[in-house]
Structure 1
Amino acid sequence: MADGTRRPGRPRSEAARLAILEATHDELVEHGYGGLTMERIAARAGVGKQTIYRWWRSKAEVALDSLLNVAAEGIPIPDEGDLGADLDVFLRHTFGMQGSEGPVLMGLLAQSLLDREFADVFRDRFLAGRRAALSEVLDHAVARGEIPAGTDLVLLQDMVYGVLWYRLLFRHAPLNDDTARDLASLIARSVRNGNNCTVRTV
């Protein structure tokens, strides 16, 4: 369930859970979010459909957990000792995932616009989780004294994910290593110079 509590019934089998998430990811890669069904997932994972429904309410929730697994494994929290370097590593991995996972992310975003309950789950589990990961990178820089006191860290996060979502949605420009490097450099220079757009006024 969205809050991490277990539904009534038999204890979750970790092997079955991982098989379902792996099958879901493979199905998403092959057929996209629109072609994903509980029947396909169950057949590929070698489990009954009711096994899936015991732990997830919808294909959107299974797909979300599959995406969370990929993000957790594929996007590190770097600590290179320098904000620009940390952001470069974090953003290269984040943007690099969009080639394979971008269509899934778009499908989940579309689902969140149609389903208010899933929108809350998507925001609280995926969006908040990715922002928390970036916040950890920024907190390292704050501790090193690279980010001045009073800097609006929420706005910095919006700058990063605003670029990601806008380019992912409209595809007017690439999301690649060059984008990651340029954005990391821009943000590092901005906070180093105490730019008014990132520092709160009292």
Structure 2
Amino acid sequence: MRVGVLALQGDVREHLRALTECGATARTVRRPTELDEVDALVVPGGESTTISKLSVEFGLFEPIRKRIADGMPVYGSCAGMIMLADEILDGRPDQVSFAGISMAVRRNAFGRQVDSFEGPVVVDGIDGPPFHAVFIRAPWVERVGADVEVLGRVAAGDAKGRIVAVRQGNLLATAFHPELTGDRRVHRFFVEMAGAAG
């Protein structure tokens, strides 16, 4: 399985390492020709408006949208979740997304950088204990369409019940950063999901 990591901005190396540890052939994607060489894609955490702008400047925006529409498996973490949303709340007027998941996502929903936190999240379909989830200026999902499967919610605190993990078909998104921990279950789940998609 050849899995690309969109390498325009964000925590690219961490995703490459996690994917490699899960048995995938991981490589960076910065050009449309590199996108053509992968079976699946990870859109990393970072800054969604920057990823949005650079994807257009590097000529990747339309090719990625087309590959998503054609069924390419994609996993987005944090900013990547925003980039996969059909609707972005509190986004910049010129911000665009790859879309694909029928959901409305609120940027920086948990607050600013100083409000970043860690907490337990149970993700349906992934065995084992709750994830030790790292939230950094993270989004949350405010509403989902009928075809979206809600996989995880915040378990405690002021944000208890907020949606932070979803799946729609071949698209997976989390508001948290599993690539920043040693827990590879989300990446393994995605690699297996991508393999099943052919």
TM-score range, shorter chain: under 0.3
After TM superposition, the score normalised by the length of structure 1 is 0.23
After TM superposition, the score normalised by the length of structure 2 is 0.23
Higher strand share: 2
Q: Which has the larger radius of gyration?
A: 1
Higher helix share: 1
